[in-house]
Amino acid sequence: GCEKGWFGKNCKFKCHCRPGVVCLSDGQCPEGQPCDHGYFGPACQYEDLVYQRASPATLEYVRDGNDLTCNTDSHATSVSVTLNASLPVSWFRIHNHKFAYLLSFTVKINNATSCSEEKRFIQGRHEVDVVCCQPILVTQLIIEGDIAPTVCSIYISG
């Protein structure tokens, strides 16, 4: 076995569940337990640029790392994340609270382009991962469409 707080082959992966929560042997957090602030994705192994680098222009519910705080504007047509620097992004995750709208969006990066050959992967009932085939420098990410009023969190991986 690995030392407490580590897992995986040669114990080289660090547990990133919330403090006081012990990871399962595969690094996942126990049922219903979220990743620690600043981490997301499979086994909480991805650092979240939104939590670390979002500017104050990004609404609190998007950047607070809490999937239970969501957009309160039922007429919203877009949700944006503004980073405090132009950073390379390879994929991001949107968490919403209404499955019917999970794929109802378009992506705008830096107000114009979207990522090249965008692929979308549904993760459960509330999350969709958007993968860009080539990393792209991002200062601002805008999600437009019917998903907007149902967005709770956006997580961005470098």
Query: Are 58 and 43 in a shared domain?
Result: no
CB 104 within 8 A of CB 145: yes
107 DSSP 8-state letter: E
Residues 58, 136, single domain; the answer is yes
Same domain assignment for residues 26 and 64: no
Q: Which of 47, 68, 84 is the last residue of a domain?
A: 47
The three-class DSSP label of residue 50 is helix
Q: What is the pLDDT of residue 111?
A: 81
Binned average pLDDT, 10 residues per bin, the chain of 158 residues = 92 95 93 92 96 95 95 98 95 97 96 84 96 92 98 96
Q: In the numeric block, which tokens belong to residue 128?
A: 């969709």
Is residue 6 domain-shared with residue 34, that is, in the same domain? yes
Domain of residue 129 covers 49-157
Per-residue confidence (pLDDT) for residue 115, from 0 to 100: 80
41 and 56 belong to one structural domain: no
Cβ-based burial of 158 (10 A; exposed 0-12, middle 13-18, buried ≥19): middle
Give the model's pLDDT for residue 133.
87
Q: What is the pLDDT of residue 113?
A: 75
CATH code of residue 95:
2.60.120.260
Same-domain status, 97 and 137: yes
What's the structural domain count of the chain? 2
Is residue 100 domain-shared with residue 139, that is, in the same domain? yes
